[in-house]
Structure 1
Amino acid sequence: MTEVSKVVTQDFSMDYFKFGNGKRNLVIIPGLSIQSVMGAANTVAAEYQMMEDDFTVYVFDRRSDIPEGYSIFDMAKDTAEAIKKLGLSKVSIFGASQGGMIAMVIAINYPDLVEKLVLGSTSSHIRPAQAKVLESWIELAKNGDAHSLYQKFAKEVYPPEIYSEYSDYFNDISNTVSTKDLERFVILASAIIGFDISSGLKKIQCPTLAMGVFEDEVLDSDATMEIAENLDYRPDFKLFMYIGYGHAAFDTAPDYRDRILTFLKG
């Protein structure tokens, strides 16, 4: 069993879990989710088992008490503080989707903390067209329609064949969503709208791997390409684009975690 722990600072507490016994530290910052990824700790640890010999892996949630107006920059500040509170330094960070936004802010504002950076299906600049999907999710959450939210979220995050295979599962799990989950989701999703860190991308100093998907129905492939356009002048920047795996390629592409490991060990 992978145990969920809590890091407590003067201003907030944050759940996290860790696994592996490697000498190097890897921090994973998950993307936006309807329910906390802490409930899937065992699954995540199993999926990243190949990292265990080289890394001690820390997976962080958002802070426990999420205030109204909580921004991506607030999330980055709190996550960086939690990392430092655990005595970690020179960590590699993998951020997926919203987690990638948080990871970029950390890499820009706390350069001494980040050794290597992996960005998955993320964006440095949310344009109005990209916000439409998020706005539709927010509206369903505000209306308390967990069933429709889970179905729409899954349909737009996963490729059609996976959504079709697991649609009954998404239907069942939507019954476990609480009012607090929906309120949390609204605040976190709203933080993405209007996010723009593109002017600061060149301040990222560490080796970076960006992985995107051409058929990204949430943020679209242009989001990853904008990051690449700002960082491809660096010899330590790498880009890889998937075809056919949906926004959540970090969950669906069979070689995704192998690519992360190869980059981090390189």
Structure 2
Amino acid sequence: MTQFKLPENEYLKVGSTEFAYKKLGTEEGIPLVFIIHFRGTMENWDPLMLENIAKERPVILFDNVGVGYTDGETPSTIDTMAEDTYQFINGLGYQQVDILGFSIGVMVAQSLAIHHPDLVRKLILSGTAPAGGIGPSHPKMEEMMYKSEGSEEDAIETFLFLFYPETRRELGKQSLNRIFSQKTKDSTLQVRDAQLAAIAQWTNDKFDHAKIQLHNIENPTLVINGDNDIMVPTENSFMLSQNIPDAQLIIYPNAGHGHLFQHPVRFANHVNTFLNE
């Protein structure tokens, strides 16, 4: 198991909100800001993946409004979450950053790039959909997302969906063990309900409108997913890569929504290669 440890929390007051965040990696370079998945906190990234990315660049993890160690109440729209993200990054004093989002974090990343294009140098969109994209296809999804609590097995099924040989399932378990070993704070039910409302609004939007906005994203973009994502169906990744002008697409074989947890080192290498181009 990796010996990599997350640094202590730092705090930044922006208006009435005190954002919790962590800085790691190199001192020089364009920072890479991570935006986490549904109900996740900044402690939900695989440390093995972080370790390999942070060797080459500054990395910033943060809890958005109402999530984890950040105070306030989580908003119920993606655009408001994106504006809160902008205020946090702006409060740190950065004029330009790279953005990596996963799942709902990529919805936030898309909105951030659309409304604040000068802030974003490059985008990495992992396991998500455009507004008005294709919704979840598995009947177990709604049940899992509305659970107030969940076991490790629930997390594996929800985020990784390993309908594959045991060797693939074991990769997910190893990643989750690394994540759970560093977890100290969970999200509240208010976060769950607000994020579910935001996802519903995003999904129910008209793709024709979203398509126009995607065409206006000029940032170099990397879209990554597994070949069998049933939480946010893999077809959405093709929709993103086909409509963002400067986008490239990577699909991992025998992988699901949690492809970055199944392949943390491969994912880190792809991220670094793209950002170093």
Question: Mind listing any 5+ residue stretches in structure 2 that lack a counterpart?
Answer: none
Q: Who is 2:242 aligned against?
A: 229
CA RMSD after TM alignment: 2.9
Question: Mind listing any 5+ residue stretches in structure 1 that lack a counterpart?
Answer: none
Give the 3-state SS of the residue equivalent to 1:140 in structure 2: coil
Q: Who is 1:209 aligned against?
A: 222
How far apart in 1 are the matches of 2:16 and 2:237?
Answer: 34
Q: After the TM superposition, which residues 132-147 of structure 1 pair with which residues of structure 2 at under 5 Å, given as runs?
A: 135-141=142-148, 146-147=149-150
The code of the aligned residue for 1:91 comes to V
Number of residues of Structure 1 aligned to a counterpart in Structure 2? 249
Q: Who is 1:185 aligned against?
A: 192
Is the 8 Å Cα contact of residues 214 and 240 (structure 2) preserved in structure 1? Answer: yes
Give the 3-state SS of the residue equivalent to 1:18 in structure 2: strand
How far apart in 2 are the matches of 1:74 and 1:98?
Answer: 13
The code of the aligned residue for 1:4 comes to N
Q: Who is 2:253 aligned against?
A: 243
Q: Who is 1:37 aligned against?
A: 42
Is the 8 Å Cα contact of residues 155 and 163 (structure 1) preserved in structure 2? Answer: no
Deviations along 1:214-244, whole A, 9 cap, x unmatched?
200201111111112212xx3x321111121
Deviations along 1:105-136, whole A, 9 cap, x unmatched?
11110011001111101111355742866532
Cα offset for 1:194? 2.8
Cα offset for 1:213? 1.7
Cα offset for 1:177? 10
Cα offset for 1:20? 1.2
Cα offset for 1:156? 3.1
How far apart in 1 are the matches of 2:230 and 2:91?
Answer: 37
Percent identity of paired positions between Structure 1 and Structure 2? 23
Is the 8 Å Cα contact of residues 17 and 72 (structure 2) preserved in structure 1? Answer: no
How far apart in 1 are the matches of 2:169 and 2:189?
Answer: 21
Give TM-score, length-normalised by structure 2. 0.78
The code of the aligned residue for 1:51 comes to I
Runs of 4+ in 1 over 6 A off after TM superposition: 176-180
Is the 8 Å Cα contact of residues 60 and 79 (structure 1) preserved in structure 2? Answer: no
Counterpart pick for 1:121 among 117, 127, 133: 127
Q: Who is 1:16 aligned against?
A: 21
Matched, 1:261 2:272: yes
Q: Who is 1:75 aligned against?
A: 81
